[in-house]
A = this chain, B = another copy of it.
Amino acid sequence: MAITIKDIARESGVNISTVSRSLNGNYGVHRNTRERVLAVAHRLNYRPNRVARGLATGRSNTFGLVVSDIRNPFFAEVARGAEDAAYAVGCDLVLCNSDMDANKQMRYMSSLLEKCVDGILMNSVAALDRSQQELLSESGIPVVLLNRTGEDRAFSSVSADNFQGGAIAGEYLAKLGHRSVAHLTGPKRHGTLSDRAGGFLKGLDGSNSGIAAVMIYSEQTMKGGYDMARELIRSHRDVTAIFAANDAIAFGVLRALLEAKVRIPDDISLIGFDNVALSEVVHPPLTTIHQPKYEIGQAAIEMLVKQSKPGVLKEIEHRVMDVELVQRESCRAA
């Protein structure tokens, strides 16, 4: 049987509420009493029961983290930032993998609410549907959405400045003198990716040189990148630069071009987005747009912490983080 405040109360000859007070805040309790109590607690190797405390206070000091798949390096990085931020304030994180499956996501949300988490950080399947929105609003629990700026205005969000990132990529390629470029990306209507595409076009256009951009849509994976690149070199032999909507796509492109004996950057320049760890490992090291993944996770938890403070009226907040160009070796002047 674990030892409880009751034991330490008996042992130190005070009431359990005095023990509780001594253990927690510095409210009115005599120095000597507190020290005695603390000593006993230490001697008995007391370990508070956080479940009981949670039931009594209504706060669990736990946040839920719902990502599509923790194996995705992007989310692993976000998760690490989130976990560190939670650890810093004495909270912990329960990990959920939704696989972008609306049902699973719903089940996880229920489960998290039942556990009385103090907040939820998630990259939702898509804009939340009505039942999910209701579930969350009614619960009154703070939520921060990942990569969902703009939509779901009912909830806070944090994401990178995807539009700006796309624009930087476009400007960079234009400045290097590329006049025939391609953008390889995921599904056409995908918030994050659409922003990158829009920014890219805007960036290219900034040079006022009437650059043509061929857009190819597929899966936002390495396989998708591989397929799109093969299609591209078959159908558009004049393209001299490619902007891949994320690094995974870029890796697929790398592979396809390598197989086709198209040299990077000599024949075609390539720029990615994300700056995942591997991007500096591949050959040639990938020039890409850095997105502050760790900081995104961190910021999200900080928002949750702030919003979950009792007495704080939670106003929704949209935070967008800066991105930046990381020049490596996959791009050169046309």
The chain A residues found within 8 Å of chain B, CB to CB, are: 2, 47-52, 54-55, 60, 62, 65, 69-71, 73, 76-77, 79-80, 83-84, 87, 92-97, 110-111, 113-116, 139, 222, 251, 255, 258, 277-278, 281-283
Q: Quickly give the copy total for this chain.
A: 2
User: How far is it, in angstroms, between the C-alpha of A222 and the C-alpha of B280 when the chains are bound?
Assistant: 11
User: How far is it, in angstroms, between the C-alpha of A52 and the C-alpha of B114 when the chains are bound?
Assistant: 10
In the assembled complex, how far is the CB of residue A13 from the closest CB belonging to chain B, in whole angstroms?
A: 25
Pick the contact of A95 from B55, B83, B222 — CB < 8 Å?
A: B83
User: How far is it, in angstroms, between the C-alpha of A47 and the C-alpha of B48 when the chains are bound?
Assistant: 27
Nearest B residue to A58 via CB reads: B51
Cross-chain contact B70 with A83 (CB below 8 angstroms): yes
Task: Show 29 residue pairs from A and B whose CB-CB distance is below 8 angstroms, ordered by the A residue.
Answer: A2-B139, A47-B110, A49-B55, A49-B114, A50-B111, A50-B115, A50-B116, A51-B54, A51-B55, A51-B60, A55-B55, A69-B80, A70-B76, A71-B73, A76-B76, A79-B95, A83-B96, A83-B97, A87-B97, A92-B94, A92-B96, A93-B95, A251-B281, A255-B283, A258-B283, A278-B281, A281-B282, A282-B283, A283-B283
